[in-house]
Structure 1
Amino acid sequence: MASTQNSLKARLQDGEVLYGIALLSYSPTMAEIAAFAGYDFVLIDMEHGFGGIADALPCIHAVAAANTPVIIRVPENTHVWVKKVLDLGPQGIVFPFINDADQAIKAVSYCRYPTKGVRGVATPIVRASKFGIDEHYAEHYEKDLLIMCQVETEESVNNVEKIAAVDGVDAVMVGPYDLSASVGCMSNPNAQKVQDLLRTMEKTVLSSKKKEEGGPFLAAFAIGADGSEDFRRRGYRCIRGACDVVSFKNACLADVRKFKKSLLNSTC
């Protein structure tokens, strides 16, 4: 079955480049502003963000007001977390630290109902199925769910061809900071060794035999020397550029510096 016309997955399959923002603050107000600003998606980060399931739900409600899709990054690759996250009804899910094909296979299985997977069934009562109003949710949700596996270590780069080939993996997302740490270049994603690994990963994914099936796609957190435009030019199709707490921090710092500078100028 083809993906629903306006789902993130369908838009990627149609050749679009998607641009989003990460939400770590779990502020519904921040989420709503981001959605109305025109981002293609809001990524709620449960790996490094401040909240859990109950905190994410008001943010999802806020984003829904602007008809903006949500992607959620789970804190760990367990079926319990995935079950609870998918029952919220996001259009995409990100699995951190996928190091080999076996882990990718398990990640996909957590997203699928038996007999194809191990996702717990509660379709009559969860938000994803409109609390049971969508009686056919279990039959169609797979075609719209964007499953993304993060490559964040040298081991995962070495295994990326097999990770990308796993049935159900729609995108491979790079985690530059963890990748740099894994090769002894802590907090330096611009290091040549890290950049070389990125180019290797990109070439492998872009030449995947699965391309004929509409994937896998390259996804990224745009940080370091590689800005959003750099990733786009290199073939990435799903790019998270901004982060709410970083954007707010930078705006605050700029505001304070501007005012302090005006004080200095006024005394001259």
Structure 2
Amino acid sequence: MPAPRNKLKAALKAGKLQTGLWLSLANSYSAELLGDAGFSWLLIDGEHSPNDLQTIMQQLQVLRFSESSVLVRPPIGETWIIKQLLDAGAQSLLIPMVETREQAEVLAKAVRYPPHGTRGVGAGGARASRFSYIADYTATADAEILLMVQVESMKAVEAIDEIATVDGVDCVFIGPADLSADMGFLGNPYAPEVTAVIEGAIKRILKHGKAVGIYMANPELAKHFINLGATFIAIGNDAGLLTQGSKQLRAIYE
């Protein structure tokens, strides 16, 4: 039996639009609820949310049978944590703050087994191989891992051609919040100057045949970037939905 098919990786390779939601509440109950909401994908965030390996694994467990694909974003792109997340069952990773080709190359190796990578061979007793019930896991896992790298600074944008050409990087994801801050527009990711940089970045990424992702909660700008070729679109987060819904409900009775 081979490793489970990564339908998100296949969809992005085919150029199909995939819209989804950040999971930042660090809670398996709310994750399970959103697993039935019909999003193309859900991302368990470990960078800006109070998640650790245990809470991430719990959410992977409750989302196992969700129709939504599941990704994990670790707090940092270190080999040790990537190894743990993969063995815990994550097949798709979004790595924050990637600024150079060298970083991207290290990450691409970290998600692959030798001889093509540096991932430690220990999934036989881990959740990734269903505790060895997937007999061919190590022989087939590499092909089903989806690696996304996140560009969030002008240094990263300047190196985007080098990053996008790294073998093993499947998608380059643009983070407007940090990028806008780096450009001097803290708190204003919709500034025209930021939009212009993103437009240029999208064109350059597509030129190298890689999928383009972006976090864009503004529907009009999201549609604009989709029209330019972005296919992996984060349209919000669970905490935001709860906040928005709470305000709307309270306003009815004010």
TM-score range, shorter chain: over 0.9
- Describe the shift of the 1:227–1:243 C-alpha distance in structure 2 as closer, same or farther (beyond 3 A): farther
Paired with 1:124 and 1:91, the residues of 2 have a C-alpha distance of: 16
Deviation at 1:164, TM superposition (A): 0.3
Paired with 1:10 and 1:133, the residues of 2 have a C-alpha distance of: 24
Residue 247 (structure 1) aligns with: 241
Q: Please list the CA deviations of residues 57-103 of structure 1 after superposition, one character each: whole Å capped at 9, or x if unmatched.
A: 22112212324321001111111110111112223101101101011
Moved more, 122-131 or 8-17: 8-17
Residue 169 (structure 2) aligns with: 169
- Is the contact made by 1:190 and 1:225 (CA closer than 8 Å) also made in structure 2? no
TM-score between the two structures when normalised by the length of structure 2: 0.94
Deviation at 1:237, TM superposition (A): 0.9
Q: 1:149 corresponds to which letter in structure 2?
A: V
Residue 25 (structure 1) aligns with: 25
Paired with 2:6 and 2:135, the residues of 1 have a C-alpha distance of: 21
Residue 85 (structure 1) aligns with: 85
Q: Please list the CA deviations of residues 215-265 of structure 1 after superposition, one character each: whole Å capped at 9, or x if unmatched.
A: x100111135754333322211111112000110111111112211xxxxx
Residue 36 (structure 1) aligns with: 36
CA RMSD of aligned residues (A): 1.7
Q: 2:61 corresponds to which letter in structure 1?
A: H
Deviation at 1:47, TM superposition (A): 0.5
- 1:13 pairs with 2:7: no
Deviation at 1:184, TM superposition (A): 1.1
- Describe the shift of the 1:15–1:255 C-alpha distance in structure 2 as closer, same or farther (beyond 3 A): same
**Superposed counterparts of 1:81-120, under 5 Å:** 81-120=81-120
- Describe the shift of the 1:91–1:242 C-alpha distance in structure 2 as closer, same or farther (beyond 3 A): same
- 1:235 pairs with 2:254: no
Paired with 2:189 and 2:218, the residues of 1 have a C-alpha distance of: 6
- Describe the shift of the 1:134–1:4 C-alpha distance in structure 2 as closer, same or farther (beyond 3 A): closer
- Is the contact made by 1:19 and 1:39 (CA closer than 8 Å) also made in structure 2? yes
Segments of structure 2 that go 5 or more residues without pairing to the other structure are none
Q: 2:233 corresponds to which letter in structure 1?
A: I
Residue 266 (structure 1) aligns with: none
- Describe the shift of the 1:121–1:226 C-alpha distance in structure 2 as closer, same or farther (beyond 3 A): farther
Q: Please list the CA deviations of residues 171-216 of structure 1 after superposition, one character each: whole Å capped at 9, or x if unmatched.
A: 00010000011111101111222112101101101112xx2xxxx1
- 1:141 pairs with 2:141: yes
Q: 1:242 corresponds to which letter in structure 2?
A: G
Paired with 2:109 and 2:165, the residues of 1 have a C-alpha distance of: 15
Paired with 1:175 and 1:161, the residues of 2 have a C-alpha distance of: 17
Q: 2:38 corresponds to which letter in structure 1?
A: G
Residue 188 (structure 1) aligns with: 188
Residue 263 (structure 1) aligns with: none
Paired with 1:231 and 1:90, the residues of 2 have a C-alpha distance of: 28
Q: Please list the CA deviations of residues 139-176 of structure 1 after superposition, one character each: whole Å capped at 9, or x if unmatched.
A: 11121111000010001111101100000000000100
- Please give the secondary structure, in 2, of the residue aligned with 1:64: coil
- Please give the secondary structure, in 1, of the residue aligned with 2:147: strand
- Is the contact made by 1:57 and 1:88 (CA closer than 8 Å) also made in structure 2? yes
TM-score between the two structures when normalised by the length of structure 1: 0.89
- Describe the shift of the 1:135–1:5 C-alpha distance in structure 2 as closer, same or farther (beyond 3 A): closer
- Is the contact made by 1:176 and 1:223 (CA closer than 8 Å) also made in structure 2? no
- Please give the secondary structure, in 1, of the residue aligned with 2:125: coil
Paired with 1:118 and 1:75, the residues of 2 have a C-alpha distance of: 20
- Is the contact made by 1:69 and 1:90 (CA closer than 8 Å) also made in structure 2? no
Q: 2:116 corresponds to which letter in structure 1?
A: K
Q: 1:63 corresponds to which letter in structure 2?
A: L
Paired with 1:250 and 1:195, the residues of 2 have a C-alpha distance of: 25
Higher Rg of the two aligned structures: 1
Segments of structure 1 that go 5 or more residues without pairing to the other structure are 261-268
- Please give the secondary structure, in 2, of the residue aligned with 1:36: coil
